[in-house]
Amino acid sequence: MLSMLARGAVLVVLVVAGSAAAAEYETANRADLVFAEHDGAKLLGDLYLPKGKSKAPVLIAVHGGGWQTGSKQYYRYWGLFLARAGYAVFAIDYRVGKPGMFPAAVYDTKAAIQFIRANAAEFDLDPDRIGLVGDSAGAQLAALTALAGDHFNTAYRDDPNAAVPASVKCVVGFYGIYDMYAQWMHDLTVRPNDNIVEKFLGASPMQNRRLYFDASPVSYATMDHNQVRFLLIHGTDDDVVDATTQSGAFLAALKHAGISARRIVIPGAGHSWALDPFESEPRSYAAQAIPQLMRFLESSL
């Protein structure tokens, strides 16, 4: 049962977002849906639905964890919150933990979009209103799939939904990694014995610099991708992902390419805060981002 404060927060958010009805929906959850099977691994997702809303827009949620750990459970708070606000959320697992998981994790993310679009009628979702949300490493996967999904087309051609378009309307990225070489350089300082980018890509930039270009969303911030809108959210005190060389530089590149992009900067926020409970914490970092985030979804999805 929601507290009065939590239920009130949802209604306030809806009013701020400009919803005419300011409705709060009951939710229905479909757990552990198999959206693809890649190399013997069954990929699962949890679908959070607003009950009674026809053709709901949907966000594919891609968790962070340095491409080494993480779970679809990271997005349970956002899933329930957004479903009550009228947005479906499909929180997914993807393959993690092994060196060189690029580009496998991109194909996994792309397959989730294709699954949702192919099954939109079954779940009463709008196949033309699909977006992505991700945090940290998940934001890298979300942004890369949104901008360059068509470049990743040589594997898993026998997927049931391989021919389904993987385009999206928008991306929300929490403290994301958008330039892999810049993050590799940052990791040399903050985690010299655990370079997450090098583990993910399976090589250092001295061994394969092209790999770092191919895996960086900023490489695809070009004028032919101006149909996707971006909201970048980060704090001022993040020592894991440098905001200036990541969100700041990516924002500039997107705007130079004519791609619609906005940014929310949360004073004092570090890393990983987007996954914490927030509905009973009106002063939390996530709660501070909600009004602008909801306005972005209202206009972009």
Instruction: Tell me which long-range contacts 72-78 makes (C-beta under 8 A, separation of at least 24).
Output: 72/44, 72/45, 72/46, 73/46, 74/135, 74/275, 75/46, 75/133, 75/275, 76/46, 77/275, 77/276, 77/277, 77/278, 77/279, 78/133, 78/274
Tell me the pLDDT of the chain (301 aa) as tens digits.
344 344 444 444 444 444 434 479 999 999 999 999 999 999 999 999 999 999 999 999 999 999 999 999 999 999 999 999 999 999 999 999 888 899 999 999 999 999 999 999 999 999 999 999 999 999 999 999 999 999 999 999 999 999 999 999 999 999 999 999 999 999 999 888 889 999 999 999 999 999 999 999 999 999 887 799 999 999 999 999 999 999 999 999 999 999 999 999 999 999 999 999 998 888 999 999 999 999 999 999 9
Residue extents of the structural domains in the chain: 4-300
Task: Please give the model's pTM, rounded to 2 decimal places.
Answer: 0.93
What CATH number matches the domain at 4-300, 3.30.1240.10, 3.40.50.1820, 3.10.20.30, 1.20.120.530? 3.40.50.1820
Yes or no: say if 84 and 129 are a contact pair by the CB < 8 Å rule: no
